[in-house]
Amino acid sequence: MSDNVYLAQMSTDMEEARAKASFPVQSMVYLLRGGKGAYEKSNKIRELAEREPLFDKSSLSFQSRQEQLCTSLLISKRLIEMVEENDMDDEQFIALFRHIELLTPLALHYTAFMPVIKAQGTTEQADKWHTAAKRHAIIGCYAQTELSHGSNVMGLNTVAVFDQATDEFVIHSPDITAAKWWIGGLGVACTHAVVQAQLIIAGKSLGPHLFIVPVRSPFDLKPCKGITVGDIGPKAYGGFSTTDNGFALFDHVRIPRDNMLMKFAQVARDGSYTPPVHMKLSYGSMVKLRVDIVTDAAWKLAKASTIAIRYCTVRRQFHNPPSFKLNDNRPESQVISYSSVQHRLMPLLATAYALAVSGESMHQQFGQLMDQLELNNATLLPEVHATSCSLKIWSTRRSSEGIEECRKSMGGHGFSIFSGVSELFANIVPANTYEGDNFVLAQQVARFLLKQLNNVVKGKEITSSTADYLKTLGQGITEPFAFENHNEQILNPQIQLEIFGMRAARLVADLGQQLQAGREWSDLNMECWTLNFAHAEYLILKQMITKVNAMAAVPEHAGLADTMKLLTDLFCLSTLGYSSLATFLSTSTIHPSDLGKLNEQYRQLITRVSNDAIPLTDSFGFSDHELNTALGKKDGRAYEHLWDAVQKNPVNADPENAKLNKLVMEILHRGNNLEYIKAAKL
């Protein structure tokens, strides 16, 4: 390390910020990572992963996409070898896969193909297909999206026509619009796909069902008869560059009847059809993917916040307050000390915590749903579906916007690939459209809430605990919330929920009134979007408050409850006073005259969270390897790490540099330019 005073100060700044922790950081790490035992078990896997040279991602930025795909397949192969060498169970393998933080061609094999077979297949089908997939004797993907259809699952054009004479399904793409598209793993790696196709029996369409279709031979990887398959190419912002999103076109491909996943719906040998207890049971796999997206959005925003806050802590620019002395020998001010930076980053830090809590809650709800579905009980499906849609919309929008804000807060160096933030953005931003376009999903959430509103109107019980705020509509209150003591009341969890619930309820009522007045549903998409955000923010706030109460009741976590309460309050006030202020005003939930007092409390919260910013980011428990950043490493020596990263650039070394030099010289020396160079003594 250099002896430069300024460079040394960066490390000092980081340690001083770390030392200001007002709570036990390691205890918060345990809390966020599932407990001490789970963290220590996970840490052993992480240490194993970080000792593996092949998992070093420092060279990926300099590779072409083809080279990146090759590297990711080598990593996939090494992962499988490590499982065998260390005799890992399924849980350990998934932990290892997550720790490498790389989207490989086998990612959806583990996260979609195998889970769908297990969840939607019969015992016999799981024994056959899941067992083969677990051994990697086959590699699978989940093929739903088509070239012309994504969110509209009911409109998929791929068909599965039952041929009773041969006891087979004929999988067919009528034209290129029905080609499966965007399918992760399908580009080069997959041998099999779980395909969503319209079930056709005796000329009658029975809606989308799931079928296992071989796409490539496991013996030589050549496409199966009747299948055109390949990779769709590079993606926006360089995202998902290490995975092979692919396409597939089916030309009357025949598969056995038993290749339809038949846990919930069955087709018998004679063509008779047994429907599931709920027609959307096959969507359970999509619910799982959306639940995972919420958690992924949380941890990606947590990483970006960690990187940005660490860098802004050690970066010094100007004087605060400004100095006009030419020979001012004081050190420049830490960027994190500027109000504008704190107001940009601290709410994002609180949001990352909020989403981590919500993701954990969603996984618990999904587990309850899966237990129900095992008993052919779909009671929870509508509510979990609506909640997963709502949180998927909110988390992907807020996370992608937040990550980009983190990049901008880092100044010019944030634009470098070595900041580590651009990759996070590139890999989260497509989640706004995959597994359901956000604006389309918002309409599904709104429909669910309108059904609950209908129960209120008819005097029936609300069947959803997530929409319990609708009960307030029966009280007939239309005035803004009346504050008696702003500073105390706005920090009261019950009042916070009351205000957020009041806003959401009024937006639901307004949507219902517009429909009654004759507005077309197709003309209410933006109202659905706004309602979805209000609903999601109510749910997130409620889940955070529940978490704080649960922490306070357990001695192990009681010492952290105040810190989580602080983050909950900041999430509440930053939402109320800034990111969603318009809807609190438009619904007359709060009065404009209250904003000044609320803003005073918000500013106090910003200051308190800023004082704990580094400890709060340390509490996420990221290693430098996981963050993959030069600017946000734990030791704070950002500029030295950035310098070292750039020195690995092959453009700066032979033979790559020699090739580029040759081309530049051809430009410089064209015609009689050498004479001008010599004459001017350049």
Which residues are annotated binding-site positions?
145, 184
Contacts of 29 (CB under 8 A, 6+ apart): 39, 618, 619, 620, 621
Tell me how far apart the terminal alpha carbons of the chain are, to the nearest angstrom: 38
- Rounded CA-CA distance 93/1 in Å is 37
- Rounded CA-CA distance 89/310 in Å is 36
Whole-Å CA distances, 553 to 108, 200, 491: 39, 55, 19
Find out whether 159 and 131 touch, Cβ atoms under 8 Å. no
| HSE of 370, CA atoms in CB hemisphere, 13 A | 16
DSSP per-residue string spanning 328-380: --SPPPBGGGSHHHHHHHHHHHHHHHHHHHHHHHHHHHHHHHHHHHHTT--TT
- Rounded CA-CA distance 318/545 in Å is 40
- Rounded CA-CA distance 390/651 in Å is 46
The one catalytic residue in 168, 435, 527, 640 is 435
> What is the rounded radius of gyration, in angstroms, for the C-alpha atoms of the chain?
28
Q: Determine how β-strand 273-274 pairs with β-strand 266-267.
A: antiparallel
- Rounded CA-CA distance 161/200 in Å is 5
Whole-Å CA distances, 457 to 450, 498, 508, 568: 10, 20, 12, 33
Find out whether 635 and 11 touch, Cβ atoms under 8 Å. yes
Find out whether 138 and 128 touch, Cβ atoms under 8 Å. no
Phi then psi for 233, rounded to 5 degrees? Answer: 100, -175
Task: Name which of 381, 496, 498, 511 is nearest 446 in CA terms.
Answer: 511
Would residue 435 show up in a list of annotated catalytic residues for this protein? Answer: yes
- Rounded CA-CA distance 617/614 in Å is 5
Whole-Å CA distances, 55 to 60, 101, 104, 183, 246: 10, 9, 12, 25, 25
Output the known binding site for FAD: 145, 184
Where does residue 579 rank: exposed (0-12), middle (13-18), buried (19+ CB within 10 A)?
middle
Catalytic residue annotation? 435
